[in-house]
């Protein structure tokens, strides 16, 4: 399954209700499980982003559906990066001239 990294920032609503962040994370994991998405890691961070997610999803469409649904709740804004393992990167590099 493809791996994705989610960079997450709290919205004004999300930061006002920050005491609920771990409960919301658990709800997100349940939502992901129903969508056949594996949340490998949720990390709360200091700096430019408030959370970082490491997720395995069957495809881009499934992950997009999940993150759009998350955004509709109004607590966070997300940016998604598709990630590649060393083995996957080796396969990509084989196609270079």
Q: What is the pLDDT of residues 66-95, one digit of tens each?
A: 999 999 999 999 999 999 999 999 999 998
Give residue-wise pLDDT tens across range 22-55. Answer: 999 999 999 999 999 999 999 999 999 999 999 9
How far is 21 from 18, CA to CA, in rounded Å?
5
Instruction: Express the helix, strand and coil content of the chain in percent, nearest 5 each.
Output: 45, 30, 25
Give residue-wise pLDDT tens across range 7-19. Answer: 999 999 999 999 9
On average, the pLDDT of the chain sits at: 97
């Amino acid at each position: 399954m493809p791996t994705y990294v989610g960079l997450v920032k709290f919205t004004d609503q999300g930061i006002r209700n920050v005491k609920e962040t771990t409960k919301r994370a658990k709800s997100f994991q349940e939502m992901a499980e129903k969508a056949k998405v594996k949340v490998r890691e949720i990390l709360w961070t200091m700096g430019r982003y408030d959370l970082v997610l490491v997720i395995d999803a069957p495809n881009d469409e499934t992950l997009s559906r999940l993150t759009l649904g998350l955004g509709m709740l109004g607590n966070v804004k997300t940016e998604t990066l598709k990630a590649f393992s060393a083995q996957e990167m080796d396969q990509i590099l084989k196609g270079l001239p």
